[in-house]
A and B are shown apart, each in its own frame.
Chain A
Amino acid sequence: MIRVGVPSKGRLMQDCFDWFGARGVVMRRAGSDREYSGVVEGVEGVVPVLLSAGEIPRELAAGRIHLGVTGSDLVREQLGEDEVAEVTKLGFGHADLVIAVPNVWIDVETVDDLDAAAAGFRKAHGHRLRIATKYHRLVRDFLQAQGVADYQLVDSQGATEGTVLNGTAEAIADITSSGETLRANHLRILSDGLIHSSQAVLWASRMAEWSGEDLAAYAGLAAKLGVSARPF
């Protein structure tokens, strides 16, 4: 039986069910709206597992689910390529991880400017320029690859856009879909500040046990979904 982790509520769950449904794999929640178990029709040997989208990367890494649907931002932040393989992009749940600075920073347009501003900021204030984010790994890898210095990441697990206004950070790196909240908080995205363009992806766990039966079930599912007959 292959276990497929799918988001357990909201828009993401509905989009996910619609995506599978359009390919002849009908998923729905079993019983009442409050019960977190699912059923699937149209394919053999597959069971949906309803999970919070944020928990799906962890379950994939632990090998407790064979497949899982979640944002590429969360997987790239938390997992390595030896743990999961991308099966296919699902084309919904689009959001960008971007770096944004105060709109009044008229001298800062690019990452290059941010680096120079950080040097000046550290000299003037005696500490490194603070960037609030919850995507530590993605942001640090991005800035390191660009050779940015004199910044520090400060952890922000929510309402990140407000940290500059509240004086706990000078800039932020966060997920945005429309940029509306950024503008409302007087922030502006750097013109080359796109760190990761995220969307919902179907992942295969390399850590799960794939029996012969599981692989056969996967091939049946893959035929319906129009993806390669092996998970990775």
Chain B
Amino acid sequence: MTPKAAIRAEGERLLQAFVQAGALPVEADILQPAGTLLDLYGEDIRARAYVTDDPVRGEMMLRPDFTVPVVQAHMAHGAEPARYAYLGEVFRKQMRGSGRASEYLQVGYEVFDRMSPEAADAEVFALFRDLLAGLNLRPVTGDIGILMAAVRGLETSERRKAALLRHVWRPSRFKALLDRFAGRASVPAGRVALLERLKAGSPMALIEEAGTFVGLRSAEEIAARAEALVADAETPPIKATEAALLYDLLSLEAPAAHALSHLRGITPMLPAIGPAVDRFAARLEALAARGVDVATLAFEASHGRTALEYYDGFVFSFLADGMPPVASGGRYDALTAVLGAGAFIPAVGGVIRPGLVARLKGAVA
């Protein structure tokens, strides 16, 4: 068998396993409308996805993942609950010299079920664990929902919370904002000068003085943000104790059971994370019921916080040294709301790369 045929055979085997687990096999177009993906991921995706032009349909992208088309299809005409499986190529530009594949097969499994999200999380994780057994992979889990709950519970302005939540998936930006809101970083020189100018007169007068008005961003929008900046400068910093808990949470890495008792310990000081911690506990129970040893399962509170992701709850990866993640997945409830035009359903899923599985099995070099 050629390497490509061996990899496809591995993919077919995994797809069949997903179908046996109750999934409906689905297909997705390779050419996806670029607009949806750009709106979702922003301009950053252009550095990762292949963009092409269609004379009739406009800007298109070679499918960078299946999640978006599968969610769209489900939101448009899916029954509930639903389990889907798929197998096909995805296309990702790689860095020069990285040696990574820019075209490879993905086989995936997605669960849309509003009855018991934690049970669905455990179902997906345990299924992946069983299919990847014997490959000596290192599973890592996380839960972005706890971090988001912690931010929502901060005693600070709604504006600051919204700014932090918007950048949950951009860790360095998030940290810079948190440092500033917590008073750990000094206000940048440019901002100090700006605030002084804004205090010197009414925003509308300052706009008037700035000369000819150009651009679509209206004077009202500019004035509203100027006023918000002045108000923000008067907002006291996030309390040191509260900020310390959030920094602690960002760097929390421990076996899952231990992480749970740690989170239980800090919940009285950060009550807003209570419901998210309860969900974490329920998930660990569901995982334990499926034979996962939660006393050793790795948990990292910041796992899955990378750009071009959309996970907002449970996240997991199965890792091997010297290669990209062999499998990864997570919960993406918010994505279904964004793509569902008002409709919403809790969803969790993941993908496996058959090429890496075949390599680990020695079937291909």
Contacts and interface: CB of A to CB of B under 8 A. Distances in A.
Interface string B202-245: 01001100111111111101101110010000000000000000
Contacts, number: 120
A152 B46 CA distance: 10
Nearest to A150: B42
Interface in A31-48: none
A30 interface: no
Contact of A116 (B97, B211, B213, B225): B225
B138 interface: no
Nearest to B216: A170
7 contacts: A104-B207, A110-B190, A112-B191, A125-B216, A147-B173, A151-B42, A164-B215
Nearest to A168: B216
A19 interface: no
Contact of B210 (A103, A129, A141, A185): A103
A117 interface: yes
B47 A147 contact: no
A137 B229 CA distance: 31
Contacts of A180: none
Interface string A126-168: 0011000000110011011011111111000000000011010
A120 B97 CA distance: 38
B195 to A, nearest CB: 10
Contact of B194 (A107, A143, A186, A187): A107
Contacts of A113: 191, 194
A139 B193 CA distance: 26
Contact of A119 (B166, B176, B216): B166
Nearest to A145: B172
B167 A104 contact: no
Given A107-B198, A143-B43, A149-B170, A102 B188 contact: no
Nearest to B38: A152
A80 B94 CA distance: 13
Interface of A: 80-82, 102-107, 109-110, 112-113, 115-117, 119-121, 124-125, 128-129, 136-137, 140-141, 143-144, 146-153, 164-165, 167, 170-171, 185-187, 191-192
A149 B169 CA distance: 11
A35 B257 CA distance: 78
A147 B167 contact: yes
A104 B213 contact: yes
B335 to A, nearest CB: 16
Most chain B CB neighbours (cut-off 10 Å) among A103, A104, A151, A185: A104
B96 A80 contact: yes
B99 to A, nearest CB: 12
B203 to A, nearest CB: 7
B44 interface: yes
A127 to B, nearest CB: 8
B355 to A, nearest CB: 24
A149 B166 contact: yes
B215 A102 contact: yes
Contacts of B193: 109
Nearest to A119: B166
B43 A105 contact: no
Contacts of A192: 190
Contacts of B207: 104, 106
Given A80-B96, A109-B194, A144 B44 contact: yes
Given A104-B215, A109-B193, A110-B191, 10 more contacts: A104-B222, A106-B198, A109-B194, A116-B163, A116-B225, A119-B166, A124-B221, A136-B46, A141-B47, A143-B43
